[in-house]
Amino acid sequence: MSSFPPLQGIRRHLPFFGGALVLTQVPALPLLLLGDRPSGIAITVYAIGSLLAAVGLSMIGIAWWNRIERVVSLVRTYAEEGRLPASREADAVGSSVRQVTASLGSLDRVLRTLESDAAKDPLTGALNRRTCSARLEGDLARSRRSGVPFSVAVFDLDELKKINDNYGHAAGDSALRHLTEVLRGAAREGDWLARWGGDEFVLGLWGADRAAATAVADRIIEKLASEPAAMGNVVVTLGTSVGVAQAKDDDDPGGLFARADEALLDAKRSGRGRVGSA
C-alpha cells in the first residue's frame, strides 16, 4: 500500500534532521551542563545544531508545500477539463481531488452562511445595524456618483411597550417579526430592510425621491393596518409611524438617518400612524 505523498517526503528528510540532532545537539548537552556557565564551544555547537534543525524543518515544509501546489494544480486542471485520466494512479488522485473539492465547497458554503448570519438581526432576519450603516454609506456614495436619488424610511412600531405589558415580551417579539414581514412584502425590487434597534427599522429605497419614498411608506401603513398580527391566542392590529428623508450630496449615513429619525418623531407627535418627511 502506498503512503500518503507528504509522509514519504517527511521520511526522506528525517535522516538529515535526525542526524543533525544526534551529531550536534546531543554532544552539546553535557558541555552545557558542565560548570556554572556554558563554554563558548558548547554554545557554538548548540547554535550550529539549531541551525541545522531549522534547515531540516524547512526542507520538510518545502516538501509539503510542493505537494499542496500539485494538488491545487490538479484541482484546477480537472475543473477546467471536466475529466479524469484513465490510469489507476490518476483515478486515485482524481478521487482525492474530488474529495478535496467537495470539502472546499462545504467550507465555502459554511463561510457564506456565517457571513450571512453575521449581517442579520437574529430576531427578525432583517439586516442588523452594522450592515445597515455599511449599506447607507455605499448607497450614498453610489447616489452621488450616478445622480440617482436615494431615500430612507425609518419605521417605528407603535405601542410596542403596551403590547409587551399586556401580552408579554414573546408577543412583542411576534409583533416585530410581523412588522418585518409586512415591510418585506411591500418593499420594491432593489430595496433593503434593516433593524436599527428596538422597534425601529430602516428601509433603503434606491431610485426613490422623497415623494416616491413617502408613497411607499403610506402603502406600508395601510398594509399593516389591514393585516392583523396573530400573537398566540391574541390577534392585534398593529400600527407604525414613519420618517422619510431623501439623501443630499453632503449627507453621511449618520446625518441621513438623523433627518429621517427627526421626521419620524414629528409623525409620532402628530398622532402616530403617519408619515413625516425631511
> What gap in Å lies between CA 105 and CA 112, rounded to an integer?
11
Catalytic residue (choose from 121, 191, 199, 251): 199
Provide the β-strand partners of residue 193: 203
Range 254-259, long-range pairs (CB < 8 A, 24+ positions)? 256/136, 256/140, 256/152, 257/136, 257/152, 257/154, 257/196, 257/202
- Concerning whether 199 is annotated as a catalytic residue, the answer is yes
Question: What's the order of all strands across the beta sheet hosting 275-277?
Answer: 192-197, 200-206, 150-157, 240-246, 275-277
Q: Which three cell numbers stand for residue 203?
A: 428601509
Provide the β-strand partners of residue 230: 235
**Cα dihedral: 257, 258, 264, 270 (round 10):** -160
- Please list, in sequence order, all residues whose beta carbon lies within 8 angstroms of the beta carbon of residue 173, skipping any fewer than 6 positions away: 123
C-alpha separations of 179 from 36, 99, 147, 257 in Å: 78, 45, 32, 20
- Please list, in sequence order, all residues whose beta carbon lies within 8 angstroms of the beta carbon of residue 160, skipping any fewer than 6 positions away: 172, 175, 176, 198, 199
Q: Active-site residues: which are they?
A: 199
